[in-house]
Amino acid sequence: MSRATFLASLLFALLAACSREPEPPRPAAVRVEGNIAILADPEAAGFLSLAAAERDRGGMLRLPGRLVWNDERTARVTPQVAGRVQRVAVDLGETVKSGDALATLGSPDYGQARADARKATADVRVAEQALARARTLREAGIVAEKDWEQSEAAAASARAEAERAGRRLAMLGGDGDGSYVLRSPLTGVVVERNIGPGTEFRPEQGGPPLFVITDPTRLWLLLDAGEGDVAALKPGESISFEARNYPGERFAGVIRRVADLIDPTTRTIKVRAEVDNPDRRLKGEMFVHALVEVPPAAAVRVPVNAVFLVGSRHYVFVAEGNGRFRRQPVEAGNSRDGLVEVRSGVREGEQVVVEGTLNLLKFFKADAPQ
């Protein structure tokens, strides 16, 4: 084909295209009027799934938690002096009584405290003897009143120092040979041991306690509850819980404390219950789920998937029939069993969109009326 023929054909095609009438615009599948989404073909709403808002009938609230040692029956034992472990007297799982030896340390600090106590005792004897001589001389009129007062003050100071050194020595513990004995402050079971012979310890180094002694027959249950669940959790009320280690069994406890502060990040509140564990089947740091019976509330509930967030407000799409769906602002509460409490905005029996909300939401502009 020659160049002239090709250019003529191209010009003819362009003229033909310009002479055609423009195709009319196709109607949109969904149009928006205010807060209403209207399907062009109501029969084509198969991509949406609906569910009816139902009256809240109460139920069972499941809260994650864990079992920990009861701090009122637990001692975390750490020496108050530096030293090297010479002997460990107990092992994990052993029962100890208050005052029983846990470990023996060779401690220069304890030796110094013992020497200070002995020196203070000797100073008291010297001061008492000087005071007795001064008393005799004072009665004979030989010593001045000022000198007597100085002797009396020196004796009082020596007695005070001896008392201080003696109390420190008694607080530290120890044996006659000068070794430092770490003793249990209460009766219980050794549930943690973090030392062995030869271990060197310094109070300033931090770290875990050398021993943890507790009464494992009484445990604490720590729960993280949502702020909307606080009304169902009151001190003194019974609570049940399940442990994965014992499927099908339920254990009981009593709520003792509900925190006064809601965590600003997680919006949860700490709850503490007390649990009897006489057979010691439950263990510290065991994860559990607490079960709290919740009474019916004056609200309706919809599936969790029906509620969506735009900005700082919650919405649902309410079906009005004939392919019309209203974007309705709601006041959402706490969720339970896959349903969300809706305190306002939706009436019982109204149909809400459960699946397909994003398909409708994309037709709304960010500045659409709300």
CATH node for 76-212: 1.10.287.470
Overall size of the chain counted in residues: 370
Give the CATH superfamily of 61-72+215-294: Efflux pump adaptor protein, beta barrel domain (2.40.30.170)
The pLDDT of residue 6 is 47
Residue ranges of the chain that CATH labels 2.40.420.20: 30-58+298-361
Residue ranges of the chain that CATH labels 1.10.287.470: 76-212
Distance (Å, whole) CA 133 – CA 151: 9
Instruction: Please list the rounded mean pLDDT of every run of 10 residues in the chain (370 residues).
Output: 52 51 54 86 78 85 92 90 85 93 76 58 66 64 58 66 57 55 92 87 80 96 85 88 93 94 87 95 95 81 91 90 90 82 90 88 65
Residue ranges of the chain that CATH labels 2.40.30.170: 61-72+215-294
The pLDDT of residue 27 is 45
Q: What is the 3-state secondary structure (H, E, C) of the chain?
A: CCHHHHHHHHHHHHHHHHHCCCCCCCCCCEEEECCEEEECCHHHHHHCEEEECEECCCEEEEEEEEEEECHHHEEEECCCCCEEEEEECCCCCCEECCCCEEEEEECHHHHHHHHHHHHHHHHHHHHHHHHHHHHHHHHCCCCCHHHHHHHHHHHHHHHHHHHHHHHHHHHHCCCCCCCEEEECCCCEEEEEECCCCCCEECHHHCCCCCEEEECCCEEEEEEEEEHHHHHHCCCCCEEEEEECCCCCCCEEEEEEEEEEEECCCCCEEEEEEEEECCCCCCCCCCEEEEEEEECCCCCEEEEHHHCEEECCEEEEEEEEECCEEEEEEEEEEEEECCEEEEEECCCCCCEEEEECHHHHHCCCCCCCCC
Output the CA angle 196-199-203, nearest 5 degrees.
120
The pLDDT of residue 295 is 76
Q: What is the topology classification, in CATH, of domain 30-58+298-361?
A: 2.40.420
Q: Which two tokens stand for residue 196?
A: 């062995």
The pLDDT of residue 160 is 66
